[in-house]
A and B are shown apart, each in its own frame.
Chain A
Amino acid sequence: MGLLSWLILLPFLTALAVVCVPARRWMMIRWIALAGTGLHLILTGIATFRFWGLAMPDVASMKTATLMKLYLVEQVPWFQTLGIQYHVGVDGISMAMVILTSIIIFTGVLASWNVKERTKEFFVLLLTLVTGVFGVFLSFDLFLFFMFYEVAVLPMYLLIGIWGTGPKEYAAMKLTLMLLVGSAFILVGILALYHASGLHTFDLTRLAQVSYSTDLQYWVFPMLFVGFGVLGALYPFHTWSPDGHASAPTAVSMLHAGVLMKLGGYGALRIAVYLLPDGAKDWGLFFMALTTINILYGSFGAIVQKDLKYFTAYSSVSHCGFVLFGVAALNLMGVKGAVIQMFSHGIMTGLFFGLIGMVYGRTHTRMINEMGGLAKVMPWLAVCFYVGGLASLGLPGFSGFVAESHVFLGGFFGNPWTNAVAMKTLTVIATLSIVVTAVYVLRGLARVFQGPIENHHFLELTDATLTEKISTGVLVATLAFAGIMPWFLIDLIESSIMPIINRLHATGTMVAFY
């Protein structure tokens, strides 16, 4: 069994190990979970180094490639009659996503150190969910991909329904149903491609060698894009996200907003745009317009929220808008920005939801108006919140700026298939969000952490514990690392994005660049 299979399997094995421990030994359970995810982080590091060594020699040849190149591939026939394989591999985009997920689950376990209710079941489900996420990022057989996708989505129902807060049953039901409707679209899209290709295979690398008829592309592309878009909070299919995030327990919010929402952007890029370049050209402007709404709508929505989790959820809607906006821009800078934004927003929002959980655990309220002056009693958490806030408003030095500047430049530079004036106008509208984001972030920070402490109970609150410090510290360091030294991330993903862009240019008619 190869390295990548271990990456997928390790969380599941950890979950099995947790199953074997009696429920009352909850101390041991969380240590097992921490050990498993810690080990996963190390394995991910090893995989990254191996990937780097293998992929770097190919940088020059990838500049003109139209087919993606996978590394560390493992391919085993599964249901041969249907052409289903166990096919895992990794390229730069999936590597970045695996790193993100590994960091988030590790810090998520640390952040749920104090889950007392049904600890065992909680960690089992959490680890199962993350198995699905790793599976999605690493599998290159669409059937396998879809299977893992469902594995990632379904445990969410239980995790929110049981460990959540507020109207949790409603939120869990709504989230699951909306995401399942999304997956139905995806399934139809995948089956359409399976049949249209005539190859009798679900293998993504082989499906990519077929050129599909323009008509097919025209109706399958929006199905796939919307299907994935539901998970990526595409307007107007985003409303599961505020309720879902608000009701979910800390680690689940972290994982959900941090990683699961990225599956949407990942799928839209990897499957919809990669396999259906002509469809993408037809629909690019439409989805750019929708995601422009996303970006502004989310940030305006966040201004007036009263609950910290709703606040962060709306900010996520806005930030995930950047991901899909970049994808819809259909050029190197836009797509690269989208992938960087997936990474950046994952870390950032993981940090936010982790911190909100920690603050809630102390103040027992998430209402912004009921807090105030908390910086005095919890300086560590305040500093981390500030870092997260400044990163989310795109302050240079953190990864958000790298992503947003890519996306804006990508949108403005345009592509040969879309009306240039329309793209520029949409981009200019989208840039307004940097002001609106500053307004809501600073407003939130000021209400929660600054000013005098009005509730005297808050004077006795304590700052972060050691596990919380490690958890938030890792996330803050990642944000700063990716922001100060962006070239690592860019080098990692750029060669893998080139084929997607080159395919767009290789097919269909070309128009002069400007």
Chain B
Amino acid sequence: MMFQNLGFMLNHTWLIPAIPFFSFLLVGLFIRPRSPKLAGIVATVAVFAAACCAYVLAWEYFHLFPAGTERHALVPWNFEWLRYQEHLAVRAGVLVDPISVLLMVVVTTVSALVHLYSIGYMHGDQGYGRYFTWLNLFTFSMLGLVVAPNILQMYVCWELVGASSFLLIGFYYEKPSAVAASKKAFIVTRFADLGFLLGVIILGYYGYHFFGELSPALAQQMGQYTAGGVVDPFDFAYLTHPEVLSKFVGLGTGFLGVSLLTMAMVLVYMGAAGKSAMFPLHIWLPDAMEGPTPVSALIHAATMVVAGVYLVARTFLVFATSGDALMVVAYIGAFTSLFAAVIGCTQDDIKRVLAFSTLSQLGYMMFALGVATMDHPLGYTASMFHLFTHAFFKALLFLGAGALIHAVHSNEIWDMGGLARKMPITHATVLIATLAIAGIWPLAGFFSKDEILVSALENQHYGIFGLGLLVAGITAFYMFRIYFVSFWGKARSKHAEHAHEAPLVMLIPLMILAVLSVVAGWVPMGEFVSLGGASHGAAEGAHHGINWAVAGPSLFVAAIGISVAWFLYGSGHEERSKSVASSLGGVYTTIKRKFYFDELYLFITHKVVFRFVAAPIAWFDRHVVDGGVNLSGWITRTSSTALSRLQTGQVQTYGAWFVGGSIGALLVLWHLMF
């Protein structure tokens, strides 16, 4: 075993999720009722501590496995949490491999900064203590998801992040729109999770049966980097092992000619698509913006929504083995990136524009994974790279938007304007983030987007490449649209005229994230994250440097996007944008109404499910089933009433019946005997 000479943090990785968990209990049960102010401080300190642990862990892990060596997925600590039956148990634990380390760093960093920012943003709010309790719960659940060594722990934490997201979206519970949004988010993702659950059940079912056929040597080989040396059918180490995968392939076709493996993975992807808000399950994310802005930054931009991407990356080998399932990932991702970007151009609520931009960028990450193959896995690295950079600049955009909303008391970009001079630091940081997401050199988004486009091109997905390029241009357009409208020109409302800079506690996270948005792109991601740690030796996806044949056109389309945005919104001639909108007519309205998907869902749930399924069932129960019960009661009563008439009390009647009955009986007897 190799667990003796691990560093302290590697041996105690469980601390990273455990710190926010215990802080959640402490803050929620004991501190919050007494002092909300202290609750905020304790919660924030706890997450900063977790962040420090994550940095130490990253340092230790990449020292243990320096570049060029094979990086194993270690499970330094686990315990049997839930035993279904023999050889089918959930061993909760922590998994340390390049992508989990990467995600731990991202989640703790963004979470810590958001906690800090929230101390200022939520100041004076009635639910201040409650807010930090939920935020800690979310951080714990997200870290638990990231370190999950088996797919069931992932599912468990998956549900928990969903629940904490639900609680935080509905944080302003007196506001009907927030309540509706939180419900919608939970139910839509729950529907997606149904697919995930079924996928897990199918994988567990066949995995369990293959487990019985496993030779002891092979089982030992699978468990060699797991504490205790035992693997279970739910473990990723087991599911992604080539031996097991080949058995899955051997299962052949199941339902409707689709192979069982593909079916299972498409179901799992349904869960991923729900959480990462892929089309057509995207409808919850824009509404989720009803939550407090820092929550949107943390959960609905940087961390929870990338869980779907992470799940696909985590089970990439299984997706790649299926092949078809990976193509589903690629095409749905690509379509979502375009679809959301188009809608993003028309929205007026700054947070909704950012939400659609998040959708679009998540689509990028998804199709990057989709175009990767086992032989040429650059897209895998690129996806994780984009996840990494996107977390910083998107969190920064949201927190910047939060500062604007804080200042002008409105989400509408048309209530802002001319804020560049009044809020210089916010302006500078948001500009950095906007340039970063638009993919301008030398900021973070440029590098990761470049790598995604290169990977699409190199794997001959020309359609997806072209689409990605187009989306890069649209992204630059809509991001600069909100930038020009809110920061340039004249103040468009009274609040905007009197706006002033946010407090320091909110500006510090903005500045840190701005620095990260600049430097994150220079991280040689290929050195750290590449497919094939555990089972595929060759570190194929090494950093390519910059491929100017791709970067040139992508810079060019970004420049076009920015110029168009300037022409329409930044040049002071607002009638131009209006004339474009009116010339598009119905198309513009359709896009602005998000292609009427919300209305479609409402129709299905309220009109179809409630009215034509639930209400008839309730009616059936009350009137038919229960009616049957009442009917049997009625029959008993009526028949007994009828029979009671026989009890007349008159001897003559009894006598008549007696004589008649006797004669009848005799007749029957006579008939039977002769």
Contacts and interface: CB of A to CB of B under 8 A. Distances in A.
A167 interface: no
B194 A435 contact: yes
Given A438-B190, A446-B183, A450-B170, A431 B83 contact: no
B628 A438 contact: no
B197 interface: yes
A11 to B, nearest CB: 32
Interface stretch (A45-53, A275-283, A407-415): A407-415
Interface stretch (A140-148, A150-158, A264-272, A395-403): A395-403
B640 to A, nearest CB: 14
A384 interface: no
A6 interface: no
Contact of A239 (B82, B163, B629): B629
Contacts of B209: 513-514
B81 A406 contact: no
A376 B174 contact: yes
B176 interface: yes
From A304, A406, A428, name the one whose CB has the most chain B CB atoms within 10 angstroms. Answer: A304
Nearest to B619: A304
Contact of A236 (B618, B625, B633): B625
A178 B97 CA distance: 59
Given A178-B629, A409-B84, A301 B614 contact: yes
A432 interface: yes
A149 to B, nearest CB: 21
A408 B201 contact: yes
A166 interface: no
B258 interface: no
Interface in B598-617: 605, 610, 613-615, 617
B184 to A, nearest CB: 9
B621 A297 contact: yes
From B88, B208, B615, B618, name the one whose CB has the most chain A CB atoms within 10 angstroms. Answer: B618
Interface residues of B, number: 51
Interface string A301-319: 1011100000000100000
Given A297-B621, A408-B197, A450-B173, A435 B614 contact: no
B617 A300 contact: yes
B633 A177 contact: yes
A301 B605 CA distance: 15
A333 B194 CA distance: 20
A55 interface: no
B85 A396 contact: no
Interface residues of A, number: 58
B284 to A, nearest CB: 13
Contact of A395 (B85, B88, B160, B610): B160
A393 B166 CA distance: 13
Contacts of A243: 626
A397 B180 CA distance: 25
Interface string B53-84: 00000000000000000000000000011111
B190 A434 contact: yes
A418 to B, nearest CB: 15
A365 B90 CA distance: 44
B73 to A, nearest CB: 23
A314 B619 CA distance: 13
B610 A303 contact: yes
Nearest to A412: B201
A274 interface: no
A239 B626 contact: yes
A304 B173 contact: no
A487 B83 contact: yes
A412 B205 contact: yes
A452 interface: yes
A439 B617 CA distance: 15
Nearest to B166: A442
Contacts of B615: 304
Interface in A485-499: 486-487, 490, 494
A408 to B, nearest CB: 6
A96 B634 CA distance: 41
A246 B140 CA distance: 39
A361 interface: no
A332 interface: yes
A390 interface: yes
A408 B190 CA distance: 16
Interface in B615-674: 615, 617-618, 621, 625-626, 628-629, 633
Contacts of A373: 173-174
B83 A301 contact: no
Interface in B180-212: 180, 182-183, 186-187, 190-191, 193-194, 197-198, 201-202, 204-205, 208-209
A405 B156 CA distance: 11
B629 A174 contact: yes
A375 interface: yes
Interface in A433-456: 434-435, 438-439, 442-443, 446, 449-453
A406 B84 contact: yes
B159 interface: yes
Interface string B305-346: 000000000000000000000000000000000000000000
B453 interface: no
Contacts of B193: 434
B621 A487 contact: no
A406 B155 CA distance: 14
Contacts of B159: 395-396, 401
Contacts of A235: 625
Interface string B510-545: 000000000000000000000000000000000000
B163 A390 contact: yes
A514 B157 CA distance: 31
B264 to A, nearest CB: 12
Contact of A301 (B81, B163, B621, B633): B621
B474 interface: no
B176 A452 contact: yes
B82 A435 contact: no
B617 to A, nearest CB: 4
Contact of B183 (A336, A412, A442): A442
B156 A401 contact: yes
A439 B175 CA distance: 19
Nearest to A310: B618
A429 to B, nearest CB: 11
Nearest to B605: A439
Nearest to A408: B201
A342 B423 CA distance: 59
Contacts of B202: 412
Contact of A413 (B170, B173, B198, B205): B205
A332 B86 CA distance: 10
Interface in A21-44: none
Contact of B191 (A435, A446, A487): A435
B363 to A, nearest CB: 25
A476 B180 CA distance: 26
A304 B618 contact: yes
Contacts of B175: 451
29 contacts: A174-B629, A177-B633, A178-B629, A235-B625, A242-B621, A243-B626, A297-B621, A300-B613, A301-B614, A301-B618, A333-B84, A333-B85, A373-B174, A393-B190, A396-B159, A402-B82, A408-B197, A409-B88, A409-B201, A409-B204, A434-B190, A438-B187, A439-B605, A443-B183, A451-B179, A452-B176, A453-B174, A487-B80, A514-B209
Given A412-B202, A432-B194, 16 more contacts: A174-B633, A236-B625, A301-B621, A303-B610, A304-B614, A373-B173, A396-B155, A397-B160, A406-B84, A412-B201, A431-B197, A435-B194, A442-B183, A450-B174, A451-B176, A453-B174
Query: 5 tightest CB-CB pairs across the interface, nearest first?
Result: A396-B156, A303-B614, A239-B626, A450-B173, A450-B179
Interface of A: 174, 177-178, 235-236, 238-240, 242-243, 297, 300-301, 303-305, 314, 332-333, 336, 373, 375-376, 390, 393, 395-397, 401-402, 405-406, 408-409, 412-413, 427-428, 431-432, 434-435, 438-439, 442-443, 446, 449-453, 486-487, 490, 494, 513-514
